[in-house]
Structure 1
């Protein structure tokens, strides 16, 4: 799915974001990457191992991008909408965790 729309809020952007994540494997890879990134980030902060912050970010995005390139077959929204995409990642992660979106 491609778009030329300009989104200003997460509420405007999120329906597009979900459309870019219709493949279940892609969503699962996002969930895994975000969860690993979150765990590594928490560990980095707890131990003050600041270099792990970069590792946390790489983990989060690497899993997601594999999902897009190999399963969803689209370009990650983060390339055009980095902040909204980051917010969308965490909203989708929460909705998957709470069962609102199928895992």
Structure 2
């Protein structure tokens, strides 16, 4: 029997936060995503004429992928985004490897769970960026992230 998929990003994000209850795991995600965002900014600054159009293509692939994630895995779209970014600026691949290395250490060594990116790759990427933003603004560093987030949202 087919597994029922989560139907919305809002519902997924609460699930995603639940997969990141360990504060050290969240800190590892913060370092990994921060490193990726630094590489991403450097790629855009150093070669905007090449990376800019690639970014437009990456955003288009991401939008399509995010819209189908409730029906099936958007892994091909995420891989397409990585390939397009790497084609335009090879250092993007290093940023991706950096981010996933930190995240997966957190999941396999601290959370002892399977990263959500294996089932919901596009929403996982969006969730990671959203979680990073919440942490960058001083939220979600301590305590239960689900409780902190749901208390904020209600």
What is the TM-score when the length of structure 2 is the normalising length? 0.61
Question: Of the two, which has the highest radius of gyration?
Answer: 2
Q: Deviations over 1:60-97 (max 9, x none)?
A: 11110011011111110000000111111011101111
Q: Name the CA distance, whole Å, in 1 between partners of 2:8 and 2:101.
A: 25
Q: Name the CA distance, whole Å, in 2 between partners of 1:91 and 1:66.
A: 20
Gaps of 5+ in 1: none
Q: Name the CA distance, whole Å, in 2 between partners of 1:24 and 1:5.
A: 29
**Structure with more relative contact order (C-alpha pairs < 8 Å, separation 6 or more):** 2
Moved more, 79-88 or 8-17: 8-17
The alpha carbon displacement at 1:5 in A equals: 4.3
- C-alpha RMSD of matched pairs (Å): 1.4
Moved over 6 A (4+): none
Which structure has greater helix proportion? 2
Residue correspondences, number: 100
Gaps of 5+ in 2: 48-87, 143-154
